[in-house]
């Protein structure tokens, strides 16, 4: 790049030559050959109309013009370094930034609600927009319509960075007066009862538990399809229906809604909730700070005795992820 006939790349060479007062030492500092550095000095002499460095005895000394250039050249390079090469520091206390997050109502309820309350105190000028889970969240992320995608790790893309925030598993929830829930839930009873499940978007994409149970030999009877995870709880009240729900969400809803909670009577993989951002935003300090704060809040709110979340082998998890994504081309999450 040139500015008024000066190749700006030569400024770095000039700074090294003025500092070292030696072509060979400047070449070492610049990781260039001595001939290339001599060539740069020749072009600098031509531009400034001055020898800049001249031989005196066995060494070289700066001309008067070269002495005048030392501080201005150093200042220009420092300004470039601080304004272009080094990203500005992120200060949450003064940051005025909007962050758009796509998340289900489950993720919003069990994580974002509490985390954003904390962020309000730490970053009072930041604004957040939570968008509902759509049919193709990865496409929305890649089009730049959202900054962060909060979803299960089965649904994230391998093309962009992500971070796992927390684990969760599933429980059965129903009305406290439901006679079928007076004892432990059995597999036979689970598949005999009517179910409330949640599906999302225009394509009515099933939640992970719905998709997983569909792959079992015995099929459950879906009597009500709900538009959100939160609405499942209200739709079992006063009925003999049951819902399969994330444990963290059930722990919040059961005590206040006249519901009871039972263990799922068969093995269902726990989920890992993850957050993902576009690879082009990997050095966005504001977004990385938000991710760090969400991860911290998730850790702080993880139950101390989360023994029901039994990890599955990575190979098994990878197999499930592949199957899930094959059935969900847009990698739709929940």
pLDDT at 334 over 50: no
Give the model confidence (pLDDT) of 151-162 as tens digits: 998 888 888 999
> How many Å apart are CA 53 and CA 41, to the nearest integer?
9
What HEC string does 296-310 produce?
HHHHHCCCCCCCCCC
Whole-number pLDDT of residue 315: 52
- On whether the CB atoms of residues 270 and 164 are closer than 8 A, the answer is no
Percent of the chain whose predicted confidence (pLDDT) is above 90: 54
- Give the tokens for residue 222: 């879906």
Q: Which residue has the higher pLDDT, 128 or 143?
A: 128
DSSP H helices, 131-264, are 137-142, 187-192, 208-214, 230-236, 247-257
Domains 2-85 and 170-263 share a fold: no
Give the model confidence (pLDDT) of 273-323 as tens digits: 999 999 888 889 999 999 999 999 999 988 754 445 545 555 565 666 556
**What global pTM score does this model have?**
0.69
Q: The domain 170-263: what is its CATH number? A: 3.40.190.10
pLDDT at 1 over 60: no
Instruction: Report CA Rg, the chain.
Output: 31
In the chain, what are the domain boundaries? 2-85, 98-167+271-327, 170-263
Cα torsion 171, 172, 176, 181 to 10°: value is -120
| Correct CATH for 2-85 of 3.30.70.20, 3.30.470.10, 3.40.50.150, 1.10.10.10 | 1.10.10.10
Q: The domain 98-167+271-327: what is its CATH number? A: 3.40.190.10
Give the model confidence (pLDDT) of 88-115 as tens digits: 678 999 999 999 999 999 999 999 999 9
Q: Which residue has the higher pLDDT, 252 or 302?
A: 252
């Amino acid at each position: 790049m040139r500015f008024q006939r000066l190749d700006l790349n030569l400024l770095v060479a000039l700074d090294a030559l003025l500092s070292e007062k030696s072509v060979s030492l400047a070449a070492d500092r610049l990781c260039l050959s001595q001939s290339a550095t001599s060539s740069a000095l020749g072009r600098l002499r031509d531009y400034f109309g001055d020898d800049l460095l001249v031989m005196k005895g066995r060494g070289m000394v700066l001309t008067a013009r070269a002495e005048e250039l030392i501080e201005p050249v150093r200042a220009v390079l420092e300004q470039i370094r601080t304004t272009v090469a080094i990203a500005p520091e992120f200060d949450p206390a003064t940051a005025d930034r909007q962050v758009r997050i796509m998340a289900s109502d489950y993720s919003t309820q069990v994580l974002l609600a509490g985390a954003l309350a904390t962020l309000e105190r730490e970053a009072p000028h930041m604004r957040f927009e939570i968008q509902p889970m759509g049919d193709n969240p990865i496409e929305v992320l890649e089009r730049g319509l959202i900054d962060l995608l909060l979803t299960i790790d089965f649904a994230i893309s391998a093309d962009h960075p992500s971070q796992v925030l927390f684990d969760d598993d599933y429980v059965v929830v129903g009305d406290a007066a439901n006679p079928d829930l007076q004892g432990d839930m059995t597999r036979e009873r689970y598949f005999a009862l009517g179910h409330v499940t949640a599906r999302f978007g225009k394509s009515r994409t099933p939640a992970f538990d719905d998709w997983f149970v569909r792959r079992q030999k015995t099929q459950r009877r879906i009597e009500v399809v709900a538009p959100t995870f939160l609405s499942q709880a209200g739709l079992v009240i006063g009925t003999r229906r049951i819902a399969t729900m994330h444990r963290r969400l059930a722990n919040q809803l059961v005590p206040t809604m006249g519901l009871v909670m039972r263990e799922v009577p068969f093995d269902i993989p726990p989920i890992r909730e993850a957050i993902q951002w576009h690879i082009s935003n990997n050095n966005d300090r504001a977004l990385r700070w938000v991710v760090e704060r969400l991860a911290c809040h998730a850790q702080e709110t993880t139950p101390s005795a989360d023994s029901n979340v039994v990890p599955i082998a990575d190979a098994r998890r990878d197999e499930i992820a592949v199957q899930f994504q094959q059935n969900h081309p847009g990698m739709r999450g929940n």
